[in-house]
Amino acid sequence: MKIALVGYGKMGHMLEQSALAFGHSVVSTIDVFVPDAKVKISAGDSKALADAVVSSGADGIIEFTHPSSVLENIKALLPLKIPMVVGTTGWNDKKEEVASLAAKCGGTIMTSANFSIGVNILYKIVEDAARLANKFSEYDAAIWEMHHNQKADSPSGTALEIANHLLSEFKRKNSIVTNEFKEKPLPNQLHVSSTRCGTVPGTHKVFFDCEADTIEIAHTARSRKGFANGAVHALENLSSMLKEGKLKSGALYGMNDIFPELF
């Protein structure tokens, strides 16, 4: 597969390594700031972005940029009708808009809060634990995450996705709170807290707590490699499933669509 990488920071470089390791070619690396990107474009120049991808001859796109630019990048690239994987987080509130755009223009996009296979296994473990803890009224629940100090959004998209999986089975809670409390939390509030420090790739913990004990479920990323490998595999699956007719173009897909064996 010929892949265009939109965003060539630390994650983009890791994506290139993964793509090459899996036998693909990286035909373009596009960025606004990074000096060693093959193509430098001005911030917000949607036409230059689309032209760069088209001229590269790419048959797949992976986008890892910044929450402030991801939506405009999606709007520029979806009409190209080239299968696209988006790893940038921080745009959950725009997913309906993106799905509508995909349906209108016939472009196909896949996204996930986290492409790590381990994290997606974590989602299932959290659901099972929440289902069990839900049966015992004494248990409370909370989520905490920690990432490197260059991460632009807080809490992480992964933490919010974990929260959604927890809430699907832990019926006593139905509201996510991500800011600090000025007073004691209400019983229905799930606190999702964040820390930013150093170069931590990502740690997520889920707590079920009562007077008698505490249960902790944790996932710690050792490097960005797991995210990069997962994103490349996601693009591989998205492309092949479109060709085989297992998925239809003009839609927004998630991990459960691309990796049904995990769900």
Write down the domain spans for the chain: 2-115+225-262, 117-220
Tens-digit pLDDT profile for residues 185-198: 999 999 999 999 99
Architecture of the 2-115+225-262 domain:
3-Layer(aba) Sandwich (3.40)
Flag whether 108 is marked binding.
no
The per-residue pLDDT for 16 is: 98
Sheet (strand 109-111) strand order? 39-40, 25-31, 2-6, 60-63, 84-86, 109-111, 252-253
pLDDT band at 98 (very low <50, low <70, confident <90, very high): very high
Read off the tokens for 11.
């994650």
| Mean of the per-residue pLDDT values of the chain | 96
Q: How many CB atoms are closer than 10 A to CB 67?
A: 13
Nearest-10 Cα torsion for 59, 65, 69, 71: 50
- Examine the pLDDT at 261 and tell me if it is beyond 90: no
Task: Give the C-alpha separation, 207 to 173, whole Å.
Answer: 14
The per-residue pLDDT for 83 is: 98
151 is catalytic: yes
Q: Which one of 24, 151, 191, 219 is the catalytic residue?
A: 151
- Examine the pLDDT at 262 and tell me if it is beyond 80: no
Q: Is 2-115+225-262's fold the same as 117-220's?
A: no
Tens-digit pLDDT profile for residues 108-152: 999 998 899 899 999 999 999 999 999 999 999 999 999 999 998
CA distances from 194 to 31, 65, 67, 179 (A): 28, 21, 17, 9
User: What single DSSP character describes residue 205?
Assistant: E
Flag whether 22 is marked binding.
no
Flag whether 158 is marked binding.
yes
Q: What is the CATH number of domain 117-220?
A: 3.30.360.10
| Whole-prediction pTM | 0.81
Flag whether 113 is marked binding.
yes
pLDDT band at 89 (very low <50, low <70, confident <90, very high): confident
75 is catalytic: no
Q: Worst-scoring range by mean pLDDT, 139-143, 153-157, 241-245?
A: 153-157
Flag whether 89 is marked binding.
yes
Flag whether 159 is marked binding.
no
The per-residue pLDDT for 51 is: 98
Q: Which one of 24, 147, 191, 204 is the catalytic residue?
A: 147
Read off the tokens for 89.
């987080």
Flag whether 88 is marked binding.
yes
